[in-house]
Chains A and B, each alone.
Chain A
């Protein structure tokens, strides 16, 4: 699976937007971009995923660069509950090893009140 690169940590103020970047310069044409987050002492939580077009859901938005070599997870208004480690991972749409999520170190997001 292609690798991703994320900043180790980021800080945000409550109720402000947060843009979490992810670089994946070796992404292949069949790789989907997935984001998960993990709050302290809890299991990972699916956030959003996309292939080529920008995606929105109730939790966040995903902006994907035109060349797909980078993406940005956007939290429109950060809350204290959004403080977590955010993982950007690539998952092959063709024959990838089922369930084999390779989490890197992710970005630890801190939210200040």
Chain B
């Protein structure tokens, strides 16, 4: 148990489907993140939220739409994805207000996404 829970663990979706990934953290952190990890590329940071506000969007295509209703929950809404979007999507959290400590990031187990 990492304190960061992701659902579903596995998802298969068609290119015309709309689905969502959910993340919940029980660590009392105020920053949450979405990452993508695939066999072709190392860990890629997608979005950063601090105190529910999006502070980073690393040029992610609009077919990925994040939502952060509160500091404990994070969603990634998916629509009209492409097969090359198949990857492991990781949610993570951290504290964001302690100098030098904000980068101790705790990851969930990830959601394996396959786009067919």
Count of A-B contacts with CB under 8 A? 60
Residues of chain A within 8 A of B106, CB atoms compared: 46
Q: Are B103 and A42 in contact (CB under 8 A)?
A: no
Q: Does B94 contact A (CB under 8 A)?
A: yes
Tell me the dominant secondary structure on chain A's binding face: loop
Q: A95 CA to B100 CA in the complex, in Å? A: 9
Indicate whether B90 reaches chain A with its CB closer than 8 angstroms.
yes
> Do A99 and B56 have beta carbons less than 8 Å apart?
yes
Which residues does chain B contribute within 8 Å of A51, judged by CB atoms? Answer: 100
A99→B103 contact, CB < 8 A: yes
- Interface residue count on the A side (C-beta < 8 Å): 22
User: Are A98 and B56 neighbours in the complex by a CB distance under 8 Å?
Assistant: yes
Contact with A along B14-55 (1 / 0, CB 8 A): 000000000000000001010000000011010010100001
Cβ-defined partner of A99 (8 Å) among B45, B100, B110: B45
Q: Does A19 contact B (CB under 8 A)?
A: no
Measured CB to CB, the closest approach of chain A to B96, in angstroms, equals 7
